[in-house]
Structure 1
């Protein structure tokens, strides 16, 4: 059976294991059902996720023009401490930025190959952690806007990384951490204006299980620009990656805006 459409990040459903879905305009595919089966991926073209035009993708599923004009990819997305909607100041579009920035945000610790600090909207829990391939995660503070989350993350980056080592994550080089104990240490590290939002009594620890039959010893990233046609046996799904028997890994989110056919 063949599916065709524009790649967007896989939709997920929390479970044991997590369920993954590729959603296209006229169909969807439960990727878990493809484990231990041969699938073929073929590159067809591009379609910008913002303007919908068949233009080469520049970054994050957007063409060059949209990447530098759309409020959905402003600098405050990657650096939440740059958020200004709480001051009534626009970056690119105040209405859009207010909707996204002026809502509850979580600062969290997540464990994969090491402990990572990060920021996400409350509505994206636990999706954000799944997308990163975290094995465990815990919320540290819940603040009313993105700016406060951003300055908290900046303060904690002196003590924890804010990046995931994707190669180690995909090889399952995972250490065991006591995130509840780590959280206790954090209260003295966060900015004064955020201390009232610290989760002092709430210690909900998320433990995430991924649908993986086997992990690769080495990983080789599939780039559709260089390899427009690929086939292989699917052995796992973790984060936003498909894992194949020969060690090839395919970052779905990194290929957003690419039009593909998938034969199963």
Structure 2
């Protein structure tokens, strides 16, 4: 069974466990059904997610030119506090930035390898938490635009990490934490202009991932250096495929790579 197409981050559906799908132009693959099977991945060419050309991928699935030109890769993506659409001020494309920035956003706590604070559009809950490999998460505030979420994250990351240790996450080296208590502790550090949006509930989201075997050591597969790889798929967590020989493959980190996938 052979699939071909350009890699994009896996589509997910919350469930027990999470369902993962690789979506290609004319086909899709439910990755859960590939568990315990031999999976072969072959790099064929690059395909920039913006221009579609066979050019080396620079970042986030884009060639270098597109990365610095497309509005989909503006600085405000990674640093929400740089959002300016609420001021009617353009970064790269004001229409796109208004659509993305001027909608409800959530600042949250997630626990994947450690507790961390993050930002996502409300429409991306719980997708964002799944993508990070978080086994539990909770919302702190829900605000009307990305800028307010960004300044809240900046204020809170002085008191809690905004980074995930992907190696610990993949090895399932985790501990359960009381996210409600953590949120209460951080409430005093929420900026004044955001205080009215604080969410005061006891609802935590718990996430179960389809993993049969966690790696003891983590060996990262880079298709640029190893264009062909074959291994038995033992789990999927975050946006990573976990193989029996401790190899892990970051699908999202390989966006823009056109590949062939064979399952036996």
Q: TM-score range by the shorter chain?
A: over 0.9
State the alpha-carbon separation in 1 of the partners of residues 54 and 156 from structure 2: 41
The answer to which of 180-189 and 119-128 deviates more is 180-189
Query: Matches of 1:20 and 1:114 in 2, distance apart?
Result: 23
In the other structure, the counterpart of 1:234 is 233
1:18-37, CA deviations, whole angstroms, 9 ceiling, x for partnerless residues? 00000000100000001111
What is residue 9 of structure 1 aligned with on the other side? Answer: 9
Displacement after TM superposition at 1:187 (Å): 1.5
- Name the SS for the 2:236 alignment partner: strand
1:191 match: 191
Structure 2 residue matching 1:3: 3-state secondary structure: strand
Task: Give the equivalent residue in structure 1 for 2:121.
Answer: 121
Q: Normalized against structure 1, the TM-score is what?
A: 0.99
Measure, in 2, the Cα distance between the counterparts of 1:167 and 1:13. Answer: 23
Structure 1 counterpart SS, 2:29: strand
In 1: Cα distance, 2:61 partner to 2:202 partner: 36
**Structure 1 CA distance for aligned equivalents of residues 75 and 202 of structure 2:** 31
CA separation in 2, counterparts of 1:146 and 1:215? 35
Q: What aligned pairs does 1:1-264 form with structure 2 within 5 A after superposition?
A: 1-200=1-200, 202-264=201-263
- Aligned with 2:48: secondary structure? coil
SS in 2 for 1:67: helix
* Structure-2 separation of matches of 1:203 and 1:105: 19
What do residues 129-160 of structure 1 show as CA deviations (whole Å, max 9, x unaligned)?
00000010000000000000000000000111
Deviation of 1:203 (Å):
2.7
Q: CA deviation at 1:53?
A: 1.5
SS at 1:168's partner residue?
A: helix
SS in structure 1 opposite 2:108? Answer: strand
User: 2: distance between equivalents of 1:4 and 1:161?
Assistant: 38
Distance in structure 2 (CA, Å) of the matches to 1:207 and 1:126: 10
Q: Give the total of aligned pairs.
A: 263
Q: 4+ runs of 1 displaced by more than 3 Å? A: none
* SS of residue paired to 1:184: helix
- Residue-by-residue CA offset, 1:172-208 (whole Å, 9 max, x unaligned): 00111000111111221100000000002x3321000
Distance of 2:45 and 2:157 partners within structure 1 = 39
The CA distance in 1 between the partners of 2:204 and 2:69, in whole Å, is 38
SS in 2 for 1:76: helix
What secondary structure sits across from 2:138 in the alignment?
strand
Unmatched 5+ stretches in structure 2: none
